Amino acid sequence: MHRKALVFSGQGAQFVGMGKDLADRYDVCRELFCRADEVLGYGISRICFEGPDSELTKSNHCQPAIFIVSAACYAALRAETGDIAFEGLAGLSLGEWTALYAAGALTFDDALRVLEARGRFMQEACDEREGGMVSVIGLPMDKIQEICDSCGTEIANLNSDAQTVLSGEKSAVTEAARLAQEKGAKRAIVLNVAGAFHSSLMASAARRLETILDGIEILPPRVPVVANVTGEPHKDVDSIRRNMVRQVTESVRWVSCVEWLKSKGVNAYVECGPGKVLTGLIKRIDAAASLHNIQDSTTLSKTVQALGADDSEAG
Annotated catalytic sites, by residue? Answer: 93, 198
First to last CA, the chain: 8
Hey, which residues does 88 pair with through a beta bridge?
Answer: 5
C-alpha torsion sign, points 24, 29, 33, 38: positive
Residue 35 sits at the vertex; the CA angle it makes with 103 and 99, to the nearest 5 degrees, is: 20
Region of residue 271 (phi > 0: left; psi between -120 and 50: alpha; otherwise: beta): beta
What number of other Cβ atoms are within 10 A of residue 267's Cβ?
17
**Cis before 52? omega within 30:** yes
CA nearest to 71, candidates 34, 106, 108, 117? 108
Hey, which residues does 161 pair with through a beta bridge?
Answer: none
